[in-house]
Structure formats: structure tokens, C-alpha cells
Structure 1
Amino acid sequence: MHNLTTNITEILLLLFLIITFGQSGYDKIADWKGNVSWLKEHFANTMFKNLVPLSVFAILVIELIAAVLCIWGIVELMSNNDPVYALWGAVISCIALLALLFGQRVAKDYDGARTIAIYFMVAIFTVYMLSK
């Protein structure tokens, strides 16, 4: 119980990232065709127009790795007070968000980019909290 209370801020931040990337990964798997179809239209006038399925798959893998590392990180924080996996989960979350931000900027979806920036603030704060 001591590790829970000692790391409560970090655990809550990790839960946010787990929900964000776990749900996003699940949605990509559950509605692959719908996601790829929508994104093909979204990136129709960009250099990524022919790379959408590969890009979605790459983002899916990164998101799932981030979610799994965050889950594992919570377990390690609570059992051993070890932040290594949690930190890597947060770092991979930041990488996923930077990739998504890049895509939104290329597609000139500035509202979408702004939304990703909000998620990035949470993710980078999680990195900060876990690396101190």
C-alpha cells in the first residue's frame, strides 16, 4: 500500500495513458477498414496518401507497446517501486503522439494537432514525474 500512495500521481497519469492508447489501439483493430478509409481521405492530398495502411499499422503497434509498458509500469511501481517500465511507457507514448502530431500537421488539420498537443502535455509530464 505504501508504494501506491508514494506513486499515486504517476499511477494516475499512467492510467490516463493506458486508457488513451489502449482504447485507440482497440479501435484501430476493431474498425480497421473504417479507420483506414477515413485516414485515406484525410491524407489524400499529402505525401502519405499511399502509405496510410502501413502508417496506421505502425501507429497501432506503437500505441499497444505504450499501453502494455504503462500497465507493466504500474505493476512494477506498486510491487517494487521501480519506475523503469512506466518511464518507457510514457516515453513511447510521447513518440506515438509526436508521430500523430506530425501527421496532423502534414494533413493541415490544425485542430487535430492542437488536440494532440494537449495529450502530449500529459505524456511529457508523466515522463518528467517518472524521471525525477
Structure 2
Amino acid sequence: MNNVASILILAFLALTFLQSGYEKIFYWNDNVTWLKEHFSKTKLKNHVPLALGHLLIVELISGILCVVGGIQLFTNNGREFGFYGAIFSCISLLMMLFGQRLAKDYDGARTIVIYFIPAVMAVYWLN
């Protein structure tokens, strides 16, 4: 098995984004309330539910593609689904990074970079 590192990163990304999507779906109102306060001094303050909905969709696409990509990589060494899962993961993280920087939450932005590094590694390895 030559793809262990790639499969592990895809599993990490899948868990990250599927769990995040789950929390957004089942705790929608709590998330919207918290984020409205978080973005109260930004241009996003009146668009939080719409922005959160867009992020939710991209996160779910990311997580599903990473699961399918990990299975594909394990079963037949195919890289297409994992590659696109990694790309969508990077897009999700860039969306979050933009929001954190807009809200001037630099600690939150720094945390997102920690997730971005393995996502970019996955894009590189699966390309």
C-alpha cells in the first residue's frame, strides 16, 4: 500500500468537514447567533446565514469527496475524487480564513492555517 499518507490526510479532511457540516446542520441557530456577533463589525453582518449556507455546502462536498477519494485510492489507486476533495477542502478553508481575517480574529485565522497545510499537501500528492 503506497498511499497511506494520502489516505490518512483524506480521512483527516473528511472527518474535519463532515463533522463541521453536521454541527452546522444540527446547531444552525446557535451557529448563526454566534457568527452574527462575530461579524457584527464587518460587511458580512447582514449576510451571515447566506455565507454560512455557502460554507456548509462546500464543506459537505469536501467531506464526501474525501471519503470517496480515500476509498478510491485504497481500492484501485485512483486519485480523482481525493484530488477534488482536497481542492474543495482548500476552498472551504480559504473561505473561513477570509472570514476570520475580515473579523480581525487573527488567532482564529492562525488556526485555519494549521488545517490548510495538510489540505495543500493532499492537493500536491494527489495531483
Which residue of 6, 27, 34 maps to 1:38? 34
Per the alignment, residue 107 of structure 1 pairs with 103
Q: Provide the secondary structure at the position in 2 that maps to 1:108.
A: coil
Per the alignment, residue 129 of structure 1 pairs with 125
Per the alignment, residue 56 of structure 2 pairs with 60
| Unmatched 5+ stretches in structure 2 | none
TM-score, with structure 1 as normaliser: 0.94
| Paired positions, count | 127
Q: Provide the secondary structure at the position in 2 that maps to 1:6.
A: coil
Per the alignment, residue 13 of structure 1 pairs with 9
| Unmatched 5+ stretches in structure 1 | none
Per the alignment, residue 84 of structure 2 pairs with 88
Per the alignment, residue 119 of structure 1 pairs with 115
Q: Deviations 1:47-87 (Å, cap 9, x if unpaired)?
A: 00000000000000000000000011011112221100000
Shift of 1:123: 0.5
RMSD of equivalent CA atoms: 0.6
Query: What aligned pairs does 1:71-82 form with structure 2 within 5 A after superposition?
Result: 71-82=67-78
Q: Provide the secondary structure at the position in 2 that maps to 1:41.
A: helix
Q: Percent identity?
A: 54
Corresponding letter in the other structure for 1:111: D
TM-score, with structure 2 as normaliser: 0.98
